[in-house]
Chain A
Amino acid sequence: MGRKKWLLAAGVLVALVFPLGLRVPYHQHILIMILVWATLGNAWNLLGGYAGQASFGHAAFFGLGAYSAGLLVHHLGISPWWGMLLGPPVATAFALPIGLVCFRLRGPYFALATLALGEIFRLVFTNWVAFTNGARGILILPEFTRKLPYYYIMLAIFALSLVMVRVMVNSKLGYYFVSIREDQDAAEALGIPATRYKLYALLPSAFITGLVGAFYMNYVAFIDPHVVFSLGDVSVMIILVVMMGGVATLWGPAVGAAIYLALSEAFRARFGAVSLLPFGVLVCLVILFMPNGVMGEAARLGKRLAGRREGWGGEPA
Chain B
Amino acid sequence: MSYLELRGVTKDFGGLRAVDNLSFEVEQGEIFGIIGPNGSGKTTCFNLINGFYPLTGGEIHFRGRRIDGLPPHRICELGIARTFQVVKPLRRMTVLENVMAGAFLRESRVAAARRRAREVLEFCGLAHRADVEAKSLTIADRKRLEIARALATQPEVLLLDETAAGLNPRECEEAIALIQRIRQSGVTVVVVEHVMKVIMGISDRVLAINFGREIARGTPGEIARHPEVIRAYLGEAHA
Contact = CB atoms under 8 A, between A and B. Distances in A.
Interface stretch (A58-66, A114-122, A175-183, A273-281): A175-183
A309 B136 CA distance: 14
A189 interface: yes
Interface of B: 50, 52, 71-73, 76-77, 81-82, 84, 88-94, 97, 100-102, 104-105, 108-110, 113, 131, 133, 149-150, 152-153
B92 A190 contact: no
A312 B105 contact: no
Contact of A194 (B73, B108, B113): B73
Contact of A308 (B92, B102, B131, B153): B131
A136 B66 CA distance: 59
A190 B76 contact: yes
B80 to A, nearest CB: 10
- A: interface residue count bin: 20 to 34
Contact of A186 (B71, B90, B108): B90
11 contacts: A178-B92, A179-B90, A183-B89, A186-B90, A187-B101, A188-B72, A189-B81, A189-B150, A190-B73, A192-B105, A313-B92
A191 B105 contact: yes
A9 B99 CA distance: 35
A193 B110 contact: no
Nearest to A170: B110
A167 B205 CA distance: 49
B157 to A, nearest CB: 13
Contact of A171 (B71, B110, B149): B110
A191 B150 CA distance: 10
Most central of A179, A186, A191 by chain B CB within 10 Å: A191
A172 interface: yes
Contact of A179 (B50, B93, B113): B93
Contacts of B131: 308-309
A175 B104 contact: yes
A248 B161 CA distance: 32
A314 interface: yes
Contacts of B153: 190-191
Given A189-B72, A308-B131, 7 more contacts: A183-B88, A183-B89, A185-B88, A186-B89, A188-B71, A190-B150, A309-B133
Interface of A: 170-172, 175-176, 178-179, 182-183, 185-194, 308-309, 312-314
Given A190-B102, A309-B131, A178 B73 contact: no
A170 B89 CA distance: 21
3 interchain residue pairs of minimum CB distance: A191-B76, A182-B90, A186-B88
A101 B50 CA distance: 24
B146 to A, nearest CB: 9
B92 A188 contact: no
A192 B52 contact: no
Given A186-B84, A188-B73, A189-B84, A172 B104 contact: yes
Given A185-B52, A185-B88, A309-B133, A190 B105 contact: yes
A172 B110 contact: yes
A186 B99 CA distance: 12
Given A172-B110, A175-B100, A308-B131, A189 B76 contact: yes
A76 B91 CA distance: 52
Given A191-B153, A309-B94, A175 B88 contact: no
Contacts of B100: 175
Contacts of A185: 52, 72, 84, 88
A192 B106 CA distance: 11
Nearest to A248: B92
Most central of A170, A179, A190 by chain B CB within 10 Å: A190
Contacts of A189: 50, 52, 72-73, 76, 81-82, 84, 150
Nearest to B78: A191
Contacts of A193: 71, 73
